[in-house]
């Protein structure tokens, strides 16, 4: 009985953390920030992950990638042009990852989930 209760508590904590991970708060309510309209492709991916913006803010953005347990990953990034960047994900282990994109000018932030095959 005690083991079942412990497992239930641990599962509830994991679900609580997982459901709150990656949630963002946008202080610019009513305005559309360019980091909110981003294409992340291909998803799932095996070698490269492309991030494409509708406006030319790729060089004004900050990117962070975390594995599903929250560890920040260091990846090679290539700025393709003012609208697009590409991450080399080939060396990552298979699994889910979280990409956080932040506009360094406005501070607005969005998160995206992708699967590495």
Q: For 16-25, 38-47, 90-99, which range has the lowest pLDDT when averaged over its residues?
A: 16-25
Residue indicated by tokens 């497992």: 7
**pLDDT band for position 5 (50/70/90)?**
low
Provide, rounded to the nearest whole percent, the portion of the chain with pLDDT above 90.
59
The domain limits of the chain are: 2-116
What is the per-residue pLDDT across 41-58, written as a single tens digit (0 to 9) for each?
999 999 999 999 999 998
Q: How far apart are CA 116 and CA 101, in angstroms?
A: 18
Contact 114, 48 (CB under 8 A): no
Q: How far apart are CA 116 and CA 96, in angstroms?
A: 6
Q: For 4-8, 36-40, 41-45, which range has the lowest pLDDT when averaged over its residues?
A: 4-8
Q: What is the dihedral of CA 83, 93, 12, 3, to 10 degrees?
A: 180
User: pTM value?
Assistant: 0.70
Sheet containing 48-53: give its strands across. Answer: 38-41, 48-53, 84-88, 76-81
- Length in residues, the chain: 117
pLDDT at 14: 52
Phi then psi for residue 35, to 5 deg, are -75, -10
Taking the domain 2-116, which CATH number applies?
2.60.40.10
């Amino acid at each position: 009985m005690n083991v079942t209760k412990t497992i239930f508590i641990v599962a509830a904590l994991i679900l609580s953390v997982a459901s709150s991970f990656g949630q963002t708060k946008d202080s610019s309510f009513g305005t559309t920030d360019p980091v909110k309209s981003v294409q992340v492709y291909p998803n799932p991916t095996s070698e490269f992950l492309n991030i494409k913006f509708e406006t030319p803010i790729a060089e004004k953005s900050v990117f962070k990638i975390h594995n599903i347990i929250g560890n920040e990953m260091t990846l090679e990034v290539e700025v393709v042009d003012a609208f697009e960047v590409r991450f080399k994900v080939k060396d990552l282990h298979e699994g889910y990852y979280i990409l956080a994109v932040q506009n360094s000018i406005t501070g607005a932030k969005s998160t995206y989930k992708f699967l590495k095959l």
